[in-house]
Amino acid sequence: MDRQRMHRLGRRLVELSRQVHLEPQDVTPSPAEELILGDVMLYPGSAVTDVVTRTGFTQGYVSKCVAALSAQGLLTTGVDPKDRRRTVIEPSTMLVTASQSRTPPLSEVLSDALGDDASPTNVMAMLDELADLLLR
């Protein structure tokens, strides 16, 4: 695989992942905002510094995105009860409810993308194996 093909594959996987979480009428967050939303959904109650560590973005950028997403009602922030100097981030009730009620299974998204070319189950297994290798 060459660099260009790997880049195209990454972009296609991002496109498919966005279909899992969004409806056509939704406002589409930037890829960075989407990564931050996903991180907060996986790790609710995280401090900004935790999100910075996991996403690789700068603290200023994460803070800016969190403020914008909070203004849109997608995230909530509060003071960490253990360390009052830190801000913790939670997904809003609206985000959690929308995600639970409107997220199609990944197998459906992959099945639509693949047509009859491959089994979504096999593709998900290959993607899991790749993630295990690359996301250590």
User: Is 74 exposed, middle or buried, given 0-12, 13-18 or 19+ CB atoms closer than 10 A?
Assistant: buried
For position 97, what pLDDT does the model report? 82
- Other beta carbons within 10 angstroms of residue 54's beta carbon come to 17
For position 19, what pLDDT does the model report? 66
Going from N- to C-terminal start, the domains of the chain cover 3-103
Fold of 3-103: Arc Repressor Mutant, subunit A (1.10.10)
Query: What is this structure's pTM?
Result: 0.64
State in Å, rounded, how far the first CA of the chain is from the last one: 21
Nearest-angstrom CA–CA distance, 108 and 83:
43
Please write the tens of the pLDDT for every residue from 90-104: 999 988 887 776 666
For position 24, what pLDDT does the model report? 57
Low-confidence ranges of the chain (pLDDT < 70): 18-27, 101-104
